[in-house]
């Protein structure tokens, strides 16, 4: 069963705050839920399906009670930063199967406030006892491992990685809610402190509180709404892992999800006007662009030179909200903001300085976990409602 044209994103909302010490996680969920529903022209009473990850209490069990929902379909798929791109596909599939009509997807987290307050840490994952002993406990170390291998195999340079941060910052300066609004230079990135070689501090995403929400609806509901919707054209998801020690550090799950999503959407790379690429680290973008097929493997570092990622006139405008590198990375689940900005672009509602002219088809991709060990990947391709 294809989901192409069977569901639409009707509402989006991103929490405007990046530090929220005066709210609970549940309160942030509620605020973004109401924001997205208002954007769609709907209410909580219209919702018959609910999606979130399992990081808040019992996930949907806790949140549907808190929100006063009575869904007939729920989903708490957890694949890290790709979770909320996965949820879009699952919501579309549920709608196409007749299981629901209006799906609400919410994300909320307070990692910045929790860290400042000395919140809990640690991991109960089965691999933690083995990898933590060798310095792989933090995400940056495993991403650095992938970056180092990419440099070794393909001659990628730190300056090329820095171009990704520069492009994100050029966009973030136009986003009043962005955590970082400073426009970076390549030299500034390279001169920032080394965190885990070869990744500098400014190769890393920001740590923020925040959240976001999406409303996915059936074609019948979409037809009656006043706000323009984004049509879901194609979707795919996968998990890539260490394969018991045979990991390929220079490729990601996007090599699987990209071709599948393009095939379902029935579009080519030349048709894509805008991309939202998960940017937990600069190397994440380089490898994802390659694996999605926008350039050959190993050419990502050269591909991003000369303003290639800068909107509106670069050859592949990306992350026009500033992305995770500069804008927002709520509770390490930044896939939702990638979808939100893609919808803004399709609606023509991005900041005028970064709006892609006549944006008709957009791609959003989420990466969760670590490209240096195990991660989830999910790709969604969206089009304008009238396309």
pLDDT band at 249; cut points 50, 70, 90:
very high
In a domain, 89, yes or no: yes
Q: Beta strand 49-51 with 102-109: parallel, antiparallel or unpaired?
A: parallel
In a domain, 150, yes or no: no
Q: How far apart are CA 121 and CA 138, in angstroms?
A: 11
CATH number, position 310 = 3.40.47.10
Supply the pLDDT for residue 134: 62
CB-based contact 282:371 (threshold 8 Å):
no
Range of 22's domain? 8-116+205-384
Supply the pLDDT for residue 300: 98
Q: Centre a 10 Å sphere on the Cβ of residue 98 and count the other Cβ atoms it contains.
A: 8
Verdict on whether the full-model pTM lies above 0.85 = yes
In a domain, 80, yes or no: yes
Angle at 235 between CA 232 and CA 237, to 5 degrees: 150
In a domain, 358, yes or no: yes
Supply the pLDDT for residue 1: 81
Supply the pLDDT for residue 123: 42
Could you tell me which of 33, 311, 76 has the C-alpha nearest to residue 171?
A: 311
Tell the burial category of 271 from Cβ atoms under 10 Å away from its Cβ (0-12, 13-18, 19+): middle
Check whether 55 has a pLDDT greater than 80.
Answer: no
In a domain, 175, yes or no: no
CB-based contact 214:84 (threshold 8 Å):
yes
Mean pLDDT of the chain: 93
Which of 62-66, 149-153, 259-263, 276-280 shows the lowest mean pLDDT across its residues?
A: 62-66
Q: How far apart are CA 159 and CA 191, in angstroms?
A: 11
Angle at 160 between CA 158 and CA 161, to 5 degrees: 65
Supply the pLDDT for residue 126: 55
Which of 135-139, 150-154, 256-260, 376-380 shows the lowest mean pLDDT across its residues?
A: 135-139
Could you tell me which of 124, 115, 169 has the C-alpha nearest to residue 309?
A: 169
Which of 171-180, 283-292, 328-337, 366-375 shows the lowest mean pLDDT across its residues?
A: 328-337
In a domain, 16, yes or no: yes
Q: Identify the sign of the CA torsion 307, 311, 317, 319.
A: positive
Q: Which pLDDT tens digit goes with each residue over 159-208?
A: 999 999 999 999 999 999 999 999 999 999 999 999 999 999 999 999 99
DSSP one-letter string for 123-162: ---TTHHHHGGGT-SSHHHHHHHHHHHHHHHH---HHHHH
**Which 3 state secondary structure label does DSSP give 176?**
coil
Q: How far apart are CA 249 and CA 44, in angstroms?
A: 44
Q: Which pLDDT tens digit goes with each residue over 125-146?
A: 556 656 666 666 668 999 999 9
Supply the pLDDT for residue 122: 42
pLDDT higher at 99 or 53: 99
In a domain, 317, yes or no: yes
Supply the pLDDT for residue 54: 75
Q: Which pLDDT tens digit goes with each residue over 100-130?
A: 999 999 999 998 987 655 444 444 455 665 6
Q: How far apart are CA 162 and CA 229, in angstroms?
A: 35
Angle at 317 between CA 316 and CA 322, to 5 degrees: 140
Angle at 257 between CA 10 and CA 167, to 5 degrees: 70
Q: How far apart are CA 266 and CA 235, in angstroms?
A: 11
pLDDT band at 59; cut points 50, 70, 90:
confident
Q: How far apart are CA 345 and CA 340, in angstroms?
A: 9
Q: What's the N-to-C CA distance of the chain in angstroms?
A: 21
Structure tokens at 324: 């995770």
What does the pLDDT average to over 213-241?
Answer: 97
Q: How many domains does the chain have?
A: 1
In a domain, 128, yes or no: no
Structure tokens at 153: 């195999």
Contacts of 194 by beta carbon, 8 Å cutoff, 6+ apart: 200, 201
Q: Write the secondary structure of 204-256 as one string of H (helix), E (strand) and C (coil).
A: ECCCECEEEEEEEECHHHHHCCCCCCEEEEEEEEEEECCHHHCCCCCCCCHHH
């Amino acid at each position: 069963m294809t989901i192409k044209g069977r569901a639409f994103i009707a509402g989006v909302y991103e929490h405007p705050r990046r530090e929220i010490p005066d709210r609970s996680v549940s309160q942030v969920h509620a605020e973004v839920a109401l924001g997205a529903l208002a954007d769609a022209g709907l209410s909580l009473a219209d919702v018959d399906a609910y999606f979130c990850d399992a990081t808040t209490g019992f996930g949907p069990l806790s949140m549907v009670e808190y929100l006063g929902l009575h869904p007939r379909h729920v989903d708490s798929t957890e694949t890290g930063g790709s979770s909320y791109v996965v949820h879009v596909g699952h919501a579309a599939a549920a709608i196409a199967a007749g299981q629901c009509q209006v799906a609400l997807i919410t994300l909320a987290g307070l990692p910045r406030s929790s860290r400042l307050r000395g919140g809990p840490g640690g991991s109960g994952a089965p691999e933690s006892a083995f990898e933590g002993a060798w310095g792989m406990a933090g995400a940056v170390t495993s991403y650095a491992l992938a970056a180092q291998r990419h440099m070794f195999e393909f001659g990628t340079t730190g300056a090329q990685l820095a171009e990704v941060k520069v492009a994100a910052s050029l966009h973030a300066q136009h986003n009043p809610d962005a955590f970082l609004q400073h426009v970076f230079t390549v030299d500034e990135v390279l001169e920032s402190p080394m965190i885990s070689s070869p990744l500098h501090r400014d190769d890393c995403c920001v740590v923020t509180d925040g959240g976001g929400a999406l409303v996915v609806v059936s074609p019948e509901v979409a037809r009656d709404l006043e706000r323009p919707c984004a049509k879901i054209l194609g979707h795919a998801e996968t998990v890539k892992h260490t394969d018991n020690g045979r990991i390929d550090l220079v490729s990601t799950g996007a090599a699987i999800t990209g071709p599948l999503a393009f095939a379902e959407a029935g579009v080519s790379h030349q048709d894509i006007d805008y991309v939202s690429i998960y940017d937990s680290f600069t190397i994440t973008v380089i490898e994802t662009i390659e694996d999605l097929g926008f350039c050959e493997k190993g050419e990502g570092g050269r591909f991003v030179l000369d303003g290639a990622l800068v909107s509106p006139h670069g050859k592949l405008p990306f992350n026009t909200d500033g992305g995770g590198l500069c804008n927002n990375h709520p509770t390490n689940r930044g896939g939702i903001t990638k979808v939100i900005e893609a919808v803004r672009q399709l609606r023509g509602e991005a900041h005028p300085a970064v709006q892609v002219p006549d944006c008709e088809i957009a791609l959003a991709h989420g990466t969760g976990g670590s490209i240096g060990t195990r991660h989830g990947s999910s790709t969604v391709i969206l089009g304008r409602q009238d396309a």
